[in-house]
Amino acid sequence: MTDVGNPILPGCYPDPTICRVGAEYYLVTSTFEYFPGLPVFRSRDLVHWEQIGHALDRPGQLDMQGIASSGGLYAPTLRHHDGTFWLVCTLVDQQDSSRGGNFVLTATDPAGPWSDPVWLGEDGIDPSLFFDDDGRVWLQGTRLAREPEWHDQTEVWLRELDPATMRLTGPEHVLWRGAVLGAVWAEGPHLYRVDGTYYLLAAEGGTEFHHAISVARSDSVTGPYVGNRANPVLTHRHLGRDVDVVGVGHADLVEAPDGSWWAVLLGMRPYGGYHYNLGRETFLVPVTWEDGWPVFAPGQGRVPMVVEVPDGVRADGGALGPHAPWPSAGPVLPGDLRWTGLRGPADFAEPHGTGWLLRVRPENLTDAATPAFLGVRQQHQDVTVRTTLRFDPAGPDEQAGLAVRQSEKDHVLLVVAGGADATGRRVLAVHRRAGVATVLGERSLPDGDDPVTLAVRARGQDYALLAGVGDEPPTPVATADGRTLDSVSAGGFLGAWQGLIATSNGAPSDSVVTVERFEYQPYV
């Protein structure tokens, strides 16, 4: 027996989907506008997780330029059948509804390479695949109801998919319009066949405080489906906002080799008031079956912060091999799969020892483009992110340093910038909130080529911004209110990222930043 603390993937890893192939479990989550997209994780025991790649990791697979924050890649579903991994997902452009849609990727190795997307041509979001025992393949998804009984009612639809042509075929079936009168925004529909019965799992209530998991069953894949009288079978909305985990929903089921069942799902951990800067995270709960229905977190009825995982979930019963506790602390080196940029490849960055060479780009974090930004998810409430860099700005518009990013309109910068009079250097702390930038503090820097160390020290919702030159320890420049950097305040679906930024704010530039080191150090 092994105890695992929840969440199993801390930080912004929402909409988890899972499958097991032999001795290995595989898991993928949403990534929205970040690139590479759709991270792929592997585990042998549901406890230790290793990221092995991304499904979308090369130019030409998808065009996400111009997609604003909290658009992009929504709610994947991962399945394995007959030697092939299948991943279906939705590309969403909230400014242009004609762009994007549902697509499928395939791979024989989950670490990649994955295929180019094949577009499926059906509307709605959150597609899922079901491979039936008779060889037929079915695609499910959710959309606004065609004939709604209330505002924002959604429905789950089903159509057959021809895997040879990747074309939908046959009639459409509407399976579900909600377990609760007035329920809105069903998402994450998944089908399973257990002991000859078909089960439909779906989340309702919207992916926020009122999120909930419901289940229905049928003797036929096309329905009709009858809901569980216990619906919703798992939710935390009745516990209020002053609780350790809120917004529980969007579950996917997996059976372990010992016959036990488990669910991965999303939830948020508020702190410093009703704010969750780490975003929607991935949690694990046990599932049992009673009277032909799944029971989530039996005996508790809520997501536990510690889960006992029996040894029988490991298919080989042996050692974990290459798997290690995750995430790791300390230096984040080039090649670490935690690094992500925005909307496209990081062709502005070149590995350089334990750090990077970053070419300054005109784009900045307010642009729905690909600025010179590389970041990692904030995965701890108390953490210090630190970088040491060398940078000689060519003018007052050039800036390089650290960023805490929530969206285009909401982020904090701690950067080395050109002097306001076009000479010298300074450290500048800027908070952009709801699109309005405010200078929090600044400090002049001595002339010379001494490296500058910048640090963001988060202790709960207090973000201290520090800077030092040469060997001197960083000292405070300003503070920022972290409560403005989560989706409760800023809107959208994202947690916070912390990382590197190099921008000339619209002006052409040939400048290069030498990043000697970047560290992510939780405070415990």
Residue 481 vs residue 325, higher pLDDT: 481
Helix, strand, or coil (residue 484):
helix
Query: What is the predicted pLDDT for the residue at 322?
Result: 41
Task: Using alpha carbons, list the distances in angstroms from residue 337 to 155, 160, 210, 282.
Answer: 36, 35, 33, 18
Q: Average the pLDDT over 230-251 and give the result.
A: 97
Radius of gyration of the chain from its Cα atoms, rounded to whole angstroms: 23
Task: Using alpha carbons, list the distances in angstroms from residue 328 to 332, 370, 462.
Answer: 9, 27, 23
Task: Give 105-114 pLDDT, tens digit per residue.
Answer: 999 999 999 9
Cα separation, 472 vs 120, whole angstroms: 57
Confidence check: pLDDT of 257 > 80: yes
Cα separation, 143 vs 239, whole angstroms: 29
Confidence check: pLDDT of 328 > 60: yes
DSSP 180-233: STT----EEEEEEEETTEEEEEEEES-SSTT-EEEEEEESSTT---EE-TT-SS
Query: What is the predicted pLDDT for the residue at 1?
Result: 80
Confidence check: pLDDT of 15 > 60: yes
Residue 322 buriedness (CB in 10 A; 0-12 / 13-18 / 19+): exposed
Q: Average the pLDDT over 294-303 and give the result.
A: 97
Cα separation, 329 vs 27, whole angstroms: 22
CATH number, domain 330-522: 2.60.120.200
Please report the sign of the dihedral spanned by the C-alpha atoms of residue 458, residue 464, residue 465, residue 469. Answer: negative
Confidence check: pLDDT of 78 > 80: yes
DSSP 65-84: TTPPTT-EEEEEEEEEETTE
Half-sphere exposure of 401 (CA within 13 A, CB side): 30
Query: What is the predicted pLDDT for the residue at 319?
Result: 43
- Entry pTM: 0.96
Query: What is the predicted pLDDT for the residue at 510?
Result: 96
Lowest average pLDDT, out of 16-25, 173-182, 289-298, 353-362, goes to: 173-182
Q: pLDDT category, 283, cuts 50, 70, 90?
A: very high
Q: Average the pLDDT over 479-497 and give the result.
A: 97
Task: Using alpha carbons, list the distances in angstroms from residue 153 to 60, 70, 234, 348, 484.
Answer: 35, 22, 20, 44, 31
Q: pLDDT category, 315, cuts 50, 70, 90?
A: low
Q: Which of 215, 216, 218, 177 is nearest to 198 (CA)?
A: 218
Tokens of residue 119, six digits: 């577009």
CB 403 within 8 Å of CB 501 = yes
> Who's near 416: CB < 8 A, 6+ residues apart?
389, 391, 393, 399, 400, 401, 425, 426, 427, 428, 445, 452, 454
DSSP 2-48: EEEESPSB-SS--S-EEEEETTEEEEE---BTEESEEEEEEESSSSS
For the chain, the structural domain boundaries read 2-313, 330-522
Helix, strand, or coil (residue 328):
coil
Helix (H) / strand (E) element for 490: namely helix 487-490
Q: Which of 445, 435, 464, 423 is nearest to 69 (CA)?
A: 435
Query: What is the predicted pLDDT for the residue at 424?
Result: 84
Tokens of residue 422, six digits: 């076009």
Assigned fold of 2-313: Tachylectin-2; Chain A (2.115.10)
Q: pLDDT category, 143, cuts 50, 70, 90?
A: very high
Query: What is the predicted pLDDT for the residue at 504?
Result: 98
Confidence check: pLDDT of 71 > 80: yes
Which residue bears the tokens 């702190």? 271
Cα separation, 294 vs 127, whole angstroms: 22
Task: Give 146-166 pLDDT, tens digit per residue.
Answer: 999 999 999 999 999 999 999
Residues serving a catalytic function are: 15, 187
Confidence check: pLDDT of 45 > 60: yes
Which residue bears the tokens 């025991």? 45
Task: Give 360-408 pLDDT, tens digit per residue.
Answer: 999 999 999 999 999 999 999 999 999 999 999 999 899 999 999 999 9
Confidence check: pLDDT of 275 > 70: yes
Q: pLDDT category, 422, cuts 50, 70, 90?
A: low
Which residue bears the tokens 């076009």? 422
Tokens of residue 470, six digits: 């040469």
Confidence check: pLDDT of 320 > 80: no
